[in-house]
């Protein structure tokens, strides 16, 4: 399964986008060029068998839906709480 990274023009509501296959030998160069054109990385990496399926997932806002589903679970809330608590404690002790 291939990994695809998507890029959007800011404030375009995901309508102006492009993507790259991360296994491409020119991925880093192309990513730099895309970022220089004003695009920003959008969401997380999308795994798909084909570029067409990756675009389908991107357009369905799949990553957002999965994240929202996770947030709806109580255990997710506890995990975020403990992570925040740990960060607060670690930041206070390391700043002394």
Domain positions in the chain: 1-60, 65-96
Select the more confidently predicted residue: 39 or 86: 39
Residue 30: pLDDT band (50, 70, 90) is very high
Q: Which residues pair with 18 in a beta bridge?
A: 7
Tens-place pLDDT, residues 8-17: 999 998 889 9
Please report the pLDDT score of residue 13 as a whole number: 86
Q: Write the CB contacts of 60 (distance below 8 Å, at least 6 apart in sequence).
A: none
Percent of the chain with pLDDT over 90: 51
26: Cα separation from own chain's centroid: 20
CA 41, CA 63: separation in Å to the nearest integer?
13
Is residue 6's pLDDT more than 70? yes
Alpha carbons 41 and 3: distance in angstroms, whole number:
14
């Amino acid at each position: 399964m291939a990994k695809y990274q998507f890029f959007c023009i800011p404030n375009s509501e995901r309508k102006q986008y492009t993507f790259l296959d991360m296994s491409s030998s020119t991925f880093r160069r192309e990513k730099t060029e895309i970022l220089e054109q004003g695009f920003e990385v959008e969401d997380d990496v999308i795994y798909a068998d084909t570029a067409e399926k990756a675009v389908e997932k991107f357009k369905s806002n799949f990553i957002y839906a999965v994240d929202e589903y996770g947030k709806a679970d109580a255990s997710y809330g506890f995990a975020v709480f403990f992570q925040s608590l740990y960060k607060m404690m670690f930041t206070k002790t390391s700043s002394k």
